[in-house]
Structures are given as C-alpha cells and as structure tokens.
C-alpha cells in the first residue's frame, strides 16, 4: 500500500482562457468541481496539461485562492509547484501548503540540463527546508520527454529516505513502465503514479496508487470506473475501452485536442483557446476527434 495521501485518478486540470488569453477563473473553478463530481479523487492543478509553464506565478496564486474561496477541499489538490527559480518554487509551495493542499507535484529545475544527482537533490532539499512545514507532502514529477531533466531513481530514493514523511510519491510521465518499476524496486511503498492510464493496470499490480492523466479531463468517469474495477470481473473490457480513448486522443497534440473536445461538448469557445506557443486544433480535426470519442463512449458506456 502506498503511503502517500492520494490514490485513484487525478486530473491535471485544463485551463480555459478568455478572448484576451487571461484565465477564465469562474469557468476553471466550475470545471474543477465537475471533475471531482465525475470521479477524480484529486486535481493536479498547474500540471503540463494545465499549460502551467505558460501561467504566471501570480496567476497560480490567484487560482489557488479562487478554489479556496469556492470551498473546494484543499486535500483534493496536488498543485504543480516546481519552477526553475528556487524562490518562486518555495513561494508557490508555501501557498499550496497554506491552502491545505494534500500535496504538491514538484518538477525538477529543468532549464539547466547537465546537472548531476547532487544538484537535483539539493534543489528538492532546499525547497523542503525553506518551506519548513510539517504538513508539506511532495510528489516528484518525472517527465523527461518534455522537461529533458528527470528525477533519477537514486535521487528519488535518497530524498525519500532523507525526508520520509515529506517525499511520498511521484508521477511517472516517462512513457513506459521501466522507470516506475525501478523506483518501486527501491521503495516498494512509494506513491508512484503513472501519467498514462494505459499503464494503470500494470502499475497498480506493481503496487502503485493510480494515475494522473490528461485524458481524465474528458473521460474521468470511465477511468475511475476502471481503477475501481481492477482485479475484478469486467476490468479487462474497461481497460480496453479506456485505452482506445487514450489512443484516439494521442493522434493529436494533447492539450489543443482535449480543449477542442471540451469546447464542442460545452459550446464555449474559451475552452479551445491555448496560450502561445501552442496553437488551437484546426476545426475539422476537433470535430473528428469529438466524433471519435463520442463513438467510443457509446460502445462502452459507464454505468
């Protein structure tokens, strides 16, 4: 059993924008509530899918406060707080703890690429020590396909052993299960989430707690249903259905594709907007993707 505070399905929440590309805060708060209602056990706000690195620090602080003001339970939140500048990471992490977030999701400092294990360890240790709050829980965010800098298993183990009550898990978005198995081999009770529901069955069987997946923004009920049914009758059929949706989404750029689907489902154009350098999905592709997802949902309805 993983020792961290989260398990199940978490959504890295998409961010809707107004016409001037400012964040549509009320719509975002409503969507956070919706995802929890649809079965997400937590919200990984300010993740990659959230366009987090296109959001200013002040915007993230405002959004955290908006959720707090709206009464969204802090314990359901796992904000991404890892930034390249150590003082900004500390400031955002402190704000997350003050908002009673269940944990934070910590990217490595990804601008400098040729850093050694000691440098990565020192960065995370500095964040923990400077925040200096026993309530802090940290999940390390491993996404080398995008960040080009990851958390080596040896560093993960070193941090978990130095801060056993603080560094409790990770999100593996490396693209296969090799890394997750390597970490769980060193730390069997570590909260190692996978970043793709195609691996959730294998990950849970290996001792992982679940998945933090972009597709939860459009398929939360089915993914949650799969997680709850793992090891039971019907799980394989649900797994096939969930994976079919994931494969369809992966045919397009993930963030514009998911936002195009939400724009069509809700009828609100703000969902289709992305901040540069991303570009919106072409209209016909958005129509095709929604039609495909609707067809897949009809074949495997969630009951």
The residues assigned a catalytic role are 139, 171
State how far the Cα of 14 lies from the Cα of 33, in Å rounded to an integer: 13
Best CA proximity match to 121, nearest among 161, 180, 80: 161
Strand partners, 138: 104, 167
Contact 46, 81 (CB under 8 A): yes
Residue 303 vs residues 102, 215, 222, 298: alpha-carbon distances, Å: 30, 19, 9, 12
Token pair for 270: 């703000």
End-to-end alpha-carbon separation of the chain, Å? 28
What is the total residue count of the chain?
Answer: 303
Contact 183, 18 (CB under 8 A): no
Token pair for 145: 């396909």
Best CA proximity match to 175, nearest among 205, 145, 149, 153: 145
């Amino acid at each position: 059993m993983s020792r961290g505070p989260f398990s199940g399905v978490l959504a890295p929440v998409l961010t809707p924008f107004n016409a001037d590309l400012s964040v549509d805060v009320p719509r975002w708060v409503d969507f956070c509530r919706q995802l929890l209602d649809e079965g997400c056990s937590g919200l990984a706000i300010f993740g990659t899918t959230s366009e987090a690195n296109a959001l200013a620090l002040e915007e993230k602080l405002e959004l955290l406060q908006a959720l707090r003001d709206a009464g969204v339970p802090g314990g359901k939140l796992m904000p991404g707080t890892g930034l390249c500048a150590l003082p900004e990471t500390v400031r955002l992490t402190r704000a997350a703890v003050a908002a009673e977030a269940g944990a934070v999701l910590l990217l490595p400092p990804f601008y400098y690429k040729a850093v050694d294990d000691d440098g990565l360890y020192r960065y995370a240790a500095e964040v923990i020590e400077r925040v200096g709050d026993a309530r802090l829980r940290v999940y390390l965010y491993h996404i080398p396909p995008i960040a080009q800098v990851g958390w080596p298993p040896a560093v993960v183990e070193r941090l978990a052993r130095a801060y056993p009550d603080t560094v409790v898990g990770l999100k593996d978005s490396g693209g296969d299960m090799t890394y997750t198995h390597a970490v769980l081999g060193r730390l069997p009770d570590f909260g190692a989430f996978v970043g793709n529901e195609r691996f959730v069955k294998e990950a849970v069987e290996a001792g992982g707690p679940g998945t933090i997946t972009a597709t939860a923004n459009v398929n939360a009920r089915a993914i949650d249903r799969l997680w709850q049914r793992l090891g039971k009758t019907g799980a394989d059929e649900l797994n096939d259905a969930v994976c079919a949706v994931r494969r369809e989404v992966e045919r397009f750029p993930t963030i514009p594709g998911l936002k195009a689907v939400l724009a069509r489902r809700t009828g609100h154009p703000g969902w289709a907007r992305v901040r540069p350098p991303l570009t919106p999905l072409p209209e016909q592709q958005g129509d095709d993707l929604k039609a495909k997802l609707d067809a897949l949902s009809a074949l495997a309805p969630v009951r």
